């Protein structure tokens, strides 16, 4: 069974190369555990893992879906 964050990642087609994705998924799960309805600014600050592929728009789409 997938964690809801993992499912959102699949639904939003976030992953590209996958190198940074485990850290982003963990950071997202922690952010949502502490703040179930974060603002855009809190989302951006909460994802401290850097992505060289530029998947941030898809990450934010997944975060918005999870925080509804």
For the chain, the domain total comes to 1
Output the domain CATH number for residue 15: 1.10.150.120
pLDDT below 70 — which residues of the chain? none
Distance CA 19, CA 29 (A): 17
21 in Cβ contact with 14 (< 8 Å): yes
Query: What would the pLDDT profile of 51-61 be if each residue is shown by its tens digit?
Result: 888 888 899 99
66 in Cβ contact with 8 (< 8 Å): yes
- The reported pLDDT for the residue numbered 17 is 84
Show the domain range for 12: 4-66
Distance, CA of 28 to chain centre:
5
Distance CA 66, CA 12 (A): 11
């Amino acid at each position: 069974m997938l964690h809801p964050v993992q499912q959102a990642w699949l639904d939003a087609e976030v992953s590209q190369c996958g190198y940074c994705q485990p850290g982003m998924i963990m950071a997202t799960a922690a952010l949502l555990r502490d703040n179930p309805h974060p603002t855009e600014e809190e989302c951006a600050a909460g994802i401290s893992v850097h992505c060289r592929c530029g998947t941030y728009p898809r990450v934010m789409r997944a975060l918005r879906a999870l925080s509804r």
